[in-house]
Amino acid sequence: MHCNDRMLEILGYQRDQLGMTFQAWNALIHPDDFTPWIAAVKAQLRDSTVPLRMSVRLKHASGRWIWMMFVGAVVDRSTEGRALRMAGVAMDVQAQKAMEHELRHAARTDELTQLPNRSVLLNAIEQAIARGRAQPGYQFAVLFMDFDRFKQVNDTLGHSVGDELLRQIASRMQDSLRPGDSLIQTSDFAHVAARIGGDEFVVLLDDIRGDLDAEIVASRLIDVLSMPYSIGVHRVVSSASIGIVTSTHAADDADSVLRDADIAMYEAKRTGRGRYVMFEPSMRHQVSATVSLENDLRQALEQHQLFVVYQPLVNLGSGEFAGVEALLRWRHPQRGLVSPVEFIPIAEACGLIGALGQFVLQTACRAFAAMPFATACSKSPSLAVNLSRAQLRQPGLVADVQDALRANGLSPQQLVLEVTESLAAQDAVVLATLHAIRELGVALSLDDFGTGYSSLSCLHELPVNYVKVDRSFVSQAETSAYHLVLIEATIRMAQTLGLGTVAEGIETQGQAALMATLGCDKGQGYLFSKPLEAPDLVAWVLARVVA
């Protein structure tokens, strides 16, 4: 064996430290690389057309392993074809191998949290499915996690806070799932925790005893992950909703298992958030029905199946007609009337709510402008239209409101835009939009007050003109002292701040009288009228004026 000084320099040896024999050099090769290296050399010795080009790890004089690439060939053979001499070149590829390792790591790791990514998770689930087929009795579970209101953290505190929240979530998951952990006893089954995008994390529990193990882990994770997070000066609370698929109902491929866990997670969100739900095959049919309804809803916009109805508001003191609230309805060609309770959440989830809101605003303004209320009433009535989060976050909303008013000859004072309490109180971008709407002269009403996240103490911070007392409070006001006190406090606070009040869902004379006694300005509900289409509303108003 012969080599130049550069070869020895790379390996860190002096010439007298290294025996120049094939056996001595072989002793430097990493055990995992030795067998394929010998096979490659023998193949070249037998046949010169077989290339010898291979990277192997060699032991450096310091004891560490370094990567070298050998490229060589037999350059002299006997007349019988026996190899007599080989020659080649050795290259230091340590940096290249380190880069390859980094690239492989990056391809398998989520950059933000350093957890395994989706591809690693899918591979692990495929292995679990295969093992389940091969080994009767083997069980696994997939836990799909999504963090409730994470988007609000990004929107209100910024993406840097959101990123740090994700890192802390990942750290808590890893700590909690560590074998022998006192909170989650997972010492007798393995796991893979991964981030697959956004605020979605997945845990694969391997070789569990049964479904109960998965439920115990999910319950403990919910407890651990819902504890407050300290991020700089901020204290953030974000609970987790978890969907679980176990071997009992696992599909035949990893993508389908993940899809089913996602379905169960959304069921957990729908039924209250901060909880877990076990997947059942019937949930697939529910999703299929939802997808079908979503497709129909997209066509409903194009085929004019949507229409607007109007529920009257009255002055509780005088009984005089005071305005209307515009409400969206859907007349499906096969299903008949579809409840807004069914289709509004679907519109919000699939991104149609903005288009629906714009339809209601334009349609209601056009219809309201055509109603002969100016001569029928002593005071100009108002038109109330609900705004969704999607609309409130659209940059062109203020211009859309201006266009709707101008196109139909309405003054800004005739329009009231309603927002839910949680939207107005939680989002800085939404607050800025609300202030811009107020500058137009359009009034704002805080809908469903008392059911969201704000309180009486912060009511003065919101740029609203009216507060609507939620129907759930009104319905219990005559029988529940608790609800009565809340309504009375709301009305008093609103009066102090110079805000108008509206009670919704009034169904009895007793409720109407009580709301009037408490000082509530206006009311709406089935006691006065159900929501009406435009011609019926005109007839109702004229009949009331005559009466």
Question: What's the burial of 5, exposed, middle or buried (CB within 10 Å: 0-12/13-18/19+)?
Answer: exposed
Mean residue pLDDT across the chain: 87
Is residue 416 within 8 A of residue 442, CB to CB? The reply is yes
Residue 460, pLDDT score: 72
pLDDT digits (tens, 9 = 90+) for 413-456: 999 999 876 555 556 777 888 899 999 999 999 887 655 444 55
Residue 315, pLDDT score: 94
Residues 225, 231, 236, 241, Cα dihedral to 10°: -30
Answer whether CATH 3.30.1330.10 is correct for domain 289-538: no
Choose the weakest-confidence range: 151-165, 295-309, 435-449.
151-165
Can you name the CATH fold of 109-280? Alpha-Beta Plaits (3.30.70)
pLDDT digits (tens, 9 = 90+) for 258-281: 999 999 998 888 777 889 999 998
The domain spans of the chain are 5-101, 109-280, 289-538
What is the spatial distance between Cα 197 and Cα 258, in angstroms, rounded to a whole number? 13
Choose the weakest-confidence range: 97-106, 243-252, 382-391.
97-106
Same fold across 5-101 and 289-538: no
Q: Which two tokens stand for residue 441?
A: 């002269």
pLDDT digits (tens, 9 = 90+) for 30-40: 999 999 999 99
- pLDDT above 90: residue 463: no
Question: What's the burial of 334, exposed, middle or buried (CB within 10 Å: 0-12/13-18/19+)?
Answer: exposed
Q: What is the pTM of this model?
A: 0.58
Residue 528, pLDDT score: 95
What CATH number belongs to 5-101? 3.30.450.20
What is the spatial distance between Cα 87 and Cα 72, in angstroms, rounded to a whole number? 6
Average pLDDT of the residues in 90-98: 88
Q: Which two tokens stand for residue 135?
A: 């080994």
